[in-house]
Amino acid sequence: MRIFTTLTVSISILATTLLTGCASSFIDVKEGADKISVKEASQVSKCDLKSRVTSSVLSKVLFVDRSQEGVEENLLQMAKNAAIDDGANTIVKGESKKFGERTFLLYNCR
């Protein structure tokens, strides 16, 4: 019985670790997204605002919280993908009212 319990706990830990690590890889990277600039609001005064987008991703997988770095990386990638769709070339991070969600402003800068 003890071996079964240990095996069950080990499998649960492994599955959670794999799912948490894989959560980042579920976000597609659109062609050209690597060319999208990330700037501060003070740097886009001469740019044209294209749109505002709110991105949201899973902040928890099963019962395990994802890392802030991983969540922010996914949010940023989703905003870059949205910029491609909207014809923007620059994004500015906006507010985050809750973990796993952030608003971005999408600009076209010349």
pLDDT along the chain (110 residues), means of 10: 55 44 67 96 96 89 81 94 97 91 96
Name the architecture of domain 2-108: 2-Layer Sandwich (3.30)
**Predicted local distance difference test score (pLDDT) of residue 48:** 96
Strand boundaries in the chain, DSSP class E: 37-39, 48-56, 60-61, 64-65, 90-93, 101-108
pTM for the model stands at 0.73
**Predicted local distance difference test score (pLDDT) of residue 37:** 97
**Predicted local distance difference test score (pLDDT) of residue 96:** 86
Distance of CA 53 to the CA centre of its chain: 13
Q: Which helix (H) or strand (E) holds 6?
A: helix 2-22
**Predicted local distance difference test score (pLDDT) of residue 3:** 65
Q: For residue 106, count other CB atoms closer than 10 A to its CB.
A: 25
**Predicted local distance difference test score (pLDDT) of residue 64:** 79
Ordered by start, the domain boundaries in the chain are 2-108
**Predicted local distance difference test score (pLDDT) of residue 65:** 78
**Predicted local distance difference test score (pLDDT) of residue 6:** 54
